[in-house]
Amino acid sequence: MKRFTPFENWHSQCLTSGAFADLNSLFSIAQYQDWPSLAQLNQHDIVNANQQAIEFIDNDEFEADGRYYETFIFETGKVPTRARNWHDLFGAYIWQLFPKTKALLNQLHIEEMANQACTQRSKKRNALTLFDECAVVLAVTDDSWADAFRSHQWQEVFVNRRAQWGHSIRAYTFGHANYEMLTQPFIGLTGKALFVNVPTDIFCKDLRSQYDYLDERLYEMICKQDVLADNSALSPLPLLGVPHWHDDNQHADFYANTDYFRPKRRKNNNDKSERA
């Protein structure tokens, strides 16, 4: 697969697809004529786990400091943000959408590093990083959705039940790497789904309230239920299959590509466990 290379310049045309609908609704990102400034990104009121105000700063300040990335954020509240960089831009928006969860992930990295007996990263730190980069929160009103996704019933969730999207299921991007790669979508682009059970009326609320609710739920699931102790709660999600996120998926035959929408791998006598 060709290595992903982001646009070097500001490219607002790539931000008009349905995958960016929430960012456009809440931050109007497609309306910018050039990269948002730090001042524009800092129009918020959020804090880190130490109750220090989060401030997006020029990456040069961090580079001159010498502390580890997670430590720097935890101890100062400052989030290094590279100029003209899609990855860091979307990271800043995720901080604003999920402030409690982002602060918690930062805190858990610090705790894991303190408990780390060697240089090898723990399973939990790997899960925290994978979630931070690649997660999509699938808010669902019943468990049948999670069961179908985990068994790779792509036809069922994306075609047969398509009309239920927005009513009993909705996708919310958490991983900022997902957003970066969705600027130039390609077949094969896959995220990691975490299923969050929600009440049936959640999708009737305004968008900001939906994100606030999910931020609280994620905090509880990660902090109290330890759902990210490892990667086992995360399920593969072909991102271009999400309704309205990619123009081609309006046609049912889009989902016939089994190289992308792969069937669940069956157990055989040589497998010790079932793998996706």
Among 175, 141, 147, 211, residue whose Cα is nearest residue 19: 175
pTM passes above 0.85: yes
pLDDT at residue 57 tops 50: yes
Q: What percent of the chain has pLDDT over 70?
A: 95
Within 10 Å of residue 196's Cβ, how many Cβ atoms? Answer: 19
* Chain-centre distance for alpha carbon 182: 12
pLDDT band at residue 42 using 50, 70 and 90 as cut-offs: very high
Beta strands in the chain (DSSP E): 55-58, 78-81, 135-140, 169-173, 190-197, 235-238
pLDDT at residue 155 tops 60: yes
The two tokens of residue 134 are 């690649």
Q: Are 172 and 22 in contact (CB under 8 A)?
A: yes
Q: How confident is the prediction for the chain on average, in pLDDT?
A: 94
pLDDT at residue 274 tops 60: no
Any idea which residue has 């309205």 for tokens? 244
pLDDT band at residue 266 using 50, 70 and 90 as cut-offs: confident
The two tokens of residue 144 are 């049948």
Quick one: pLDDT at residue 270? 53
Task: Kindly state the average pLDDT of the residues 218-224.
Answer: 98
Q: H/E element holding 216?
A: helix 207-223
Angle between helices 99-115 and 69-76 (to 10 degrees): 120
Cβ-proximal residues to 3 (8 Å cutoff; 6+ apart), any chain: none
pLDDT at residue 169 tops 70: yes
First to last CA, the chain: 19
pLDDT band at residue 268 using 50, 70 and 90 as cut-offs: low
Single-letter amino acid, residue 220: E
Sign of CA dihedral 216, 207, 167, 194: negative
pLDDT band at residue 63 using 50, 70 and 90 as cut-offs: very high
**Count H helices, E strands: the chain?**
11, 6
pLDDT band at residue 117 using 50, 70 and 90 as cut-offs: low
pLDDT band at residue 272 using 50, 70 and 90 as cut-offs: very low
Among 248, 93, 98, residue whose Cα is nearest residue 180: 93
pLDDT at residue 158 tops 80: yes
